[in-house]
Amino acid sequence: MQYFSFFLLQQAAPGATSNPLMSFLPLIFIVAIFYFLVFMPMQKQKKQQAQMLASLQTGTDVLTTGGIVGTIISITDTTLVLRVKPDNIKLQVMRSAVASLVDAPKAIEEKK
């Protein structure tokens, strides 16, 4: 019985020899996992979006963030003019409003 109480006292008060870095190690590990699972994919997606916006050309079919599908007629630094079917209506939109290329899967398949 005396040995058991001595064991509990040792477990309850481990002493002053504990390393403070070891107490922060789980927090550092969680932050590292959060960075690799959240921030790295976001940065990669942001780079791909910027690269896609920089490579826009006339004649490309695009989808805007508002859901409008159109063909690029002219491009300036900040704006695009889209031709929208069926009545060939021309819309001027911001370059940043382009969400994706409509024919992107076809172009990827052709490159393979």
SS3 38: helix
Question: Given this model, what pLDDT does residue 103 score?
Answer: 74
Question: Given this model, what pLDDT does residue 110 score?
Answer: 53
**CA neighbor of 51 nearest in space, from 91, 101, 108:** 101
Q: Are 73 and 83 in contact (CB under 8 A)?
A: yes
**pLDDT tens by residue, the chain, 112 residues:** 555 555 555 555 555 567 777 888 889 999 999 888 988 999 999 999 999 999 999 999 999 999 999 999 999 999 999 999 999 999 999 999 999 999 755 545 555 5
